[in-house]
Chains A and B, each alone.
Chain A
């Protein structure tokens, strides 16, 4: 077999579609086996434009005349599969005739893979978005349960180490005749009323620098100085306390259900920590909380009682009256003091 014959056989058997195109007539002079397999040979006289209807013949002619080369892609159906080929036209070195060599590489698999990656990345993106959304929900929930600083610590180390905060001021509040109110009204109404009131307390507290620790039914507890130190923590809770009462007074004037609160405020130390393993919650407890709860018990409806330490820190910025009886702590007897807004206009403006 001659070299030419071997070459031709190779050219025919190669897995790339090869054809020779006469640029004058756009007819195909030679087609190898692969080319025929892909584009058929039912009509031997079929021209380039018949085989590739989407091919821009004008662009091809210009490109060949300019640089002797043109590339493009074409898709076609082979049985029921969509095939894609990368077409490369190169001018043959033949002075007398305008012949171009057309080489078609099968890039169907690449196209299929591209489609698959597109599809997959869309799925992954959607999933990532969902995960992000869920993460934000979880973060929001956790931030409801603990201060941001504790949450950050929990996120980085998986635990929140217990910490002592000293001194801080604690405000505790509950409602007079809560059980009676519960019996008299629909549970839905009560929950919505409490939501309303506690949300207002949260807003007022935030304004003055104290944060709600927890509520338990009608018991509302807030603290100033946890987890970030607060210079004037006693002033913050006293301010919040008088405004809680002012808010309730205004609310009662226009609402059918009257809420009367008792408030106790105290200063001392507390421990802040996440408590629980399965159902964990950030809790703040300790002497100041206990004392504030105790003082609350001595408060008359719509009044505030405070301990001596708090009152000393307030330094005359509130109206203080001695109230009795004294706390039943024999070792360390303390005066219970009643706290209210100062009436003098000059001092009131400082609050």
Chain B
């Protein structure tokens, strides 16, 4: 069986550090942070853990419907989404994830852009 990124980088013990670091970055960021203002801590951590595990091939599955439903009430623009990708890139680089693997993760994000970004009506 092909090794997933999750296994390659040391399973949950390693991924948990990435999750926490990403969590810090998201919360501290003034563009993305406000989206998490009213989210309860366990829910937010749960979301992040599953999310990172899933995109790195760990024991979690996120259906597209689930992702869409979780973001439907938020007005997320392309700028927000780009910023988020930037933070993910920064975090993974800091944790010495190989460039080609970061590409894979970012591509997985990009694939879901249409589910998350809302086209703002500028009328």
User: Residues of A with Cβ closer than 8 Å to B?
Assistant: 79-82, 109, 111-113, 115-116, 118-120, 123-124, 127
Contact between chains at A123 and B50 (CB < 8 Å): yes
Contact with A along B7-41 (1 / 0, CB 8 A): 00000100010011001000110000110110011
CB-CB < 8 A to A80: which residues of B?
27, 33-34, 36-37
**Would you call B45 and A119 a contact (CB within 8 A)?**
yes
Residues of A within 8 A of B27 (CB): 79-81
Q: Name the one of A79, A111, A120, A123 contacting B41, with C-beta atoms under 8 angstroms.
A: A111
- The reply to whether A112 and B23 contact each other, CB–CB distance below 8 Å, is yes
Query: Chain A at the B interface: mostly helix, strand, loop or mixed?
Result: helix
In the bound complex, what is the Cα–Cα distance between A127 and B53 (angstroms)?
13
Task: Determine which of A79, A109, A115 lies in contact with B46 in the assembled complex, contact meaning CB atoms within 8 Å.
Answer: A115
Most A-side CB within 10 Å, residue of B34, B36, B40, B60 = B60
* Given A79-B27, A112-B20, A127-B59, residue A120 in contact with residue B37 (CB < 8 A): no
Once A and B bind, how many residue pairs between them come within 8 Å at the CB atom?
48
Complex-state Cα separation, A118 to B47, whole angstroms = 12
- Interface residue from A111, A112, A115, A123 paired with B59 (Cβ < 8 Å): A123
CA A127 to CA B50, docked complex, whole Å: 13
B42 in the interface (beta carbon within 8 A) = yes
Which among A116, A118, A120, A124 is the interface contact of B20 at CB below 8 angstroms?
A116
Q: Chain B: residues with CB nearer than 8 A to chain A? A: 12, 16, 19-20, 23, 27-28, 33-34, 36-37, 40-42, 45-46, 49-50, 53, 58-60
B45 CB contacts on chain A under 8 angstroms: 112, 115-116, 119
Q: Write out the residue numbers on chain B whose beta carbons fall within 8 Å of the beta carbon of A124.
A: 59
With A and B bound together, what is the CA distance between A80 and B44 in angstroms? 12
B25 → A minimal CB distance (Å) = 12
The residue on B at minimum CB distance from A124 is B59
A218 shortest CB reach to chain B, Å: 41
A64 to chain B, nearest CB (A): 30
A178 to B44, CA, bound (A): 65
19 pairs, A vs B, C-beta closer than 8 Å: A79-B27, A79-B28, A79-B33, A80-B34, A81-B27, A111-B41, A112-B20, A112-B41, A112-B45, A115-B41, A115-B46, A116-B46, A116-B49, A119-B42, A119-B46, A119-B49, A123-B49, A123-B50, A123-B60
Interchain CB contact under 8 A, A120 and B42: no
- In Å, the complex CA distance between A119 and B34 comes to 23
CA distance A80 to B42 in the complex (A): 14
B41 to chain A, nearest CB (A): 4
Which residues on the B side are within 8 Å of A119 (C-beta)? 42, 45-46, 49-50
- Quick one: closest B residue to A126, CB to CB? B59
